[in-house]
Each structure stands twice: as structure tokens, then as C-alpha cells.
A = this chain, B = another copy of it.
Amino acid sequence: MGYTRMSAAEAAAMIKNDETIALSGFTPNGVPKAVFRELSKHAEQEHAAGRPFQIGIITGASTGQSVEGDMAAAKAIKFRAPFSTNKDFRDCTNAGEIDFEDMHLGHVAERLRRGFYGEIDWAIIEVSGLEEGTSTCKAFLTSAGGIVPTIVRLAKHVIIEHNSFHHPTSHLLHDVYEIAECPRRLPIPILQVGDRIGREYVEIDAKKIVGVVECCIPEEARAFTPLDPVTEQMGHNVADFLVNDLKRGIIPPEFLPLQSGVGVTSNAVLEALGQNPAVPVFSVYAEVVQDSVVKYMREGRIKAASCSSLTVTNDTLKGIYADMDYFKARITIRQSEISNAPEVIRRLGVIAMNTALECDIYGNENSSHICGSRLMNGVGGSCDYERNGFISIFTTQSTAKNGAISSIVPMCSHVDSTEHDVDVIVTEQGVADLRGKGPLRRAQEIIENCAHPDYRPLLRDYLKIAGKGHEPQHMRSALAFHDAYLTKGDMRLTEF
């Protein structure tokens, strides 16, 4: 037997205006691509014919150009959650065209189960292989875990993209596990980074599967930004801080699993830790595995990694597939509600390292909005880790736009991680260790250790005019840095 094969265009034609679609994948990896390449064209045709066509798209994390980029450009997204890194999507969202809910990635499956998003009309998932049973289908996931078991269970219909770009043994990397509905849940039984608690495949009710689309499409992986001296310095600052905590006995001698967000700074941190002989062989418990993890795993510096996605270049992905015997024993791809589960993160004592857009002098952090209003990417999974991690570190370059923006400001223009969840701030200038300190002592650390020297006098001046209080803020001047940037193009021109 076999399920109905159909073209991507035929699959796309079944999707109607105003429906809600949930997808496999986490970051651009593991996201279905074939159907959406047709769906954005279909949307444009519908619009040209004067008919409305907008859908809701819910995914594990960000996606790629074929999904949120082209669909946003086609004005075909009505609602979107939980995260995006795409420029076209960002432009449309900042123009007020898309209803976008920026959400903790560890909450997505949970909130879908709770029914907060109404009915899910379609689940579209990418697989590397299928066992086409009469009552249930066993589907093999590709390079990401995401929210698949939840969406195939909740959706009315399922479309499968069988993408032969992925190796048919990709399932050997997966541990598929869905948390049960409330109120009858059990503990998530992960005690070590590499523990496998589920199955290698996703089970799908065969009745829901309306079609299988065959394709061979590479991942829409983003290019790897090379390190520069500033990001390298930030990486070394983080590594030195952790080595010092190890020496002081704060971090136990066997070290603790690391989480590091997506992007160039995360790579810089992993490079610095990988190269530092004072750091023992370590593990990674994160939402993504990037190229540097794979590199140091090959070198024996990283012994195990758990993630919800191999957010790697296509070359690195092919390299993993080619060495499956080595990597299947070392890498585990999980659902995002497991990779980002507070329960597991706190139990394992994960060291959380994420990237800030800006931090204020009291330790509040903004990951998502430029000058309060304009979406950059979103919080992603950073908050799942910062509150539950053993130590919560945020890194940011002390300035941006050739010095016209200070990443250390009097008050964040938007807050994603509060002072209660930020233990350490690291810039290329240095490290502010905020643990066990009240606001005034935190301000001292952050201004003197992390702010760029050009901005320190302004920040000290602000503290003076802010006056008395547990956490002094001056309501008329708190956002003056941002106002100066918006009106004069340079925060150095701030006047209080």
C-alpha cells in the first residue's frame, strides 16, 4: 500500500484562506519547503483574482525564506508565531501587516495543546522516510524535532514532504517524545544530556494523511558569519569567566552542560571554550547545534549534545549523515518542549548563554525590539534557559552602528529578560557579575566593566540625575539615549 502522492502545487491548492497551518522544523532546518514555494505563488494568484488569502503559520521556531519570507512578501500571513529571523517577514511585521506573537519556544507545543490557537487545520511536515501503515504511519524526521508529535496529533489533516536531500537514516539522531495533556503528567525522565526517552519516529494517524509530496531541496541554512576580533574577545571573556567559576568551585569539577543561542557570538563562545584547556570535555544541552559544536565533537572536546535542531550548514549536515555511527551516539534531536523544558534545564544545571540587543544599567535585557518598537527577531528560546539555567549569561557588543548605539542604556526600551534572570553580562569590554547584588551595585559593575568608554560618562551622569530609590530611574530621561538615536542618529548626542 502507499499514501497518495501529489505535487507540491496540488498540496498547496488544498489550503484555504484563513486556515491555520503548523509546520515541522526548528530554525530554517527541518521546515517543509516544497509546498510553501507553491503556496506563496498560489496566494499571489488569489490576490490577483481579487480573493482574500491569508493564513496562520505556527512553527517550532523561525523558518526560512520559502515559508515566512515569501509568504510575508506575498501578504499571505495573517497570524504567525513564535519566532522569525527573516527580513521580509520583519519588514511586514514592523509595518503592522502581520499579527505576530513573539513567544518562548519551549511554550509552543504546550500552548497548542491548551487550545489557545483554536483548531489546527493542517500540519505539514518534512521527513526523510516513511513506514506507510494502514492505521498509523511512522515518519522519520530530518534535521529538527520542533513541535511535530503535537501538531500531527492536533491537526485535522497532514501533508508530508518526503525530502530526499536528507539521509534516510536521519531518524537515528531523533528522540521523539510528547508531554502528556494536563492534569495527568509524569516527570520528563531525562537525567543526562544524552538520555533517550522516546522513539526514533513520529506516529501519525494514517487517516489524516492527505498526501505525500516527493522533493529534494537543500536546507535554507543561513551563511556562517566569520568571527572578528570583537566577537572573539567576547568569547574569551565568557570562557575566562566560566573557568574562574570552575576554579572557585561554583561550577563543579565535571563542568555543566552548556546552552548557547544561535549566531556568531554563540559560535565565538563555543570556539573559546573548545580551545581553552582549562575547560574539561563538556556537553551541550541547547535548542540548536551549530557548526562549532560539530567541529569540537569531532575533536573530542564535546562529548554529547542535545538540541531541537541541527542548525548547521548543508556541508556540515552532509558530514553528520556521512558519519552517522559516530554522531548517533553523541547527538540527540528532541522536541522543542523538551530541549527548552524548565524541568530538564534546571535539573541538569545548564549554563545559559544568550545574546542581548541591549541591557540596562540594572541588568534588564532586550532581545527583540529596536528602540522599543521595531522587531528584530524575537525572544526565541532565550528565556526558557535564562530563568532555569545554573548561571544566566547575556553577551552583547558594547556598541553598534559604529558607536552610534550603546548596548548599555539607562533603561531598556523593551524588556525580555528581567534583572531577576540575568546573572552576568559580557561585552568585549569585560564582564559584569551581577549575582547577589542589588541594583546600585549592579549599575556600578555594568557601567564600569561592560559599557563602552565613550558612554560611561553619560551613564554615570544618568545615575546622578536618577536620584534616590531602590532602582533609581528618571521618568523623563530614562529613554533619552533612544530618543537621541532616533532624532539625532547618535546616542552620544544624548542630553538629559
Chain A positions near chain B (C-beta within 8 angstroms): 79, 81, 93-96, 98-104, 107, 110-111, 114-118, 181-183, 185-189, 191, 248-250, 252, 254, 256-257, 341-343, 346-349, 364, 369, 371-375, 379, 383, 387-388, 390-391, 411, 413-421, 423, 435-438, 440-441, 466-473, 475-476, 478-479, 482-483, 486
**Which residues of B have CB within 8 Å of A371?**
473, 475
- Shortest C-beta distance, A29 to chain B (Å), equals 24
* Contact between A436 and B101, CB atoms less than 8 A apart: yes
The residue in chain B whose Cβ has the minimal distance to the Cβ of A110 is: B346
The residue in chain B whose Cβ has the minimal distance to the Cβ of A93 is: B470
The residue in chain B whose Cβ has the minimal distance to the Cβ of A470 is: B375
A114-B373 contact given A99-B441, A468-B95, CB 8 Å threshold: no
User: Which secondary structure dominates where chain A touches chain B?
Assistant: loop
A390-B114 contact given A99-B438, A349-B183, A373-B469, CB 8 Å threshold: yes
- Which of B95, B186, B248, B469 contacts A96, CB < 8 Å? B469
A346-B349 contact given A390-B114, A415-B418, CB 8 Å threshold: no
**Which residues of B have CB within 8 Å of A423?**
116
- Which of B348, B387, B414 contacts A183, CB < 8 Å? B348
* Contact between A471 and B250, CB atoms less than 8 A apart: no
Query: Can you list 24 A-B contacts (CB < 8 A)?
Result: A79-B436, A81-B436, A96-B468, A100-B470, A101-B436, A114-B250, A115-B249, A116-B435, A182-B348, A183-B257, A183-B348, A187-B188, A187-B347, A343-B343, A343-B346, A369-B473, A372-B411, A372-B473, A374-B470, A375-B469, A383-B420, A414-B471, A414-B473, A475-B479
- Shortest C-beta distance, A259 to chain B (Å), equals 14
* Contact between A388 and B249, CB atoms less than 8 A apart: no
- Which of B254, B364, B486 contacts A475, CB < 8 Å? B486
In the complex, A186→B191 CA distance in Å? 7
- Which of B181, B374, B469 contacts A374, CB < 8 Å? B469
Greatest chain B CB density within 10 A among A181, A249, A438 is at A438
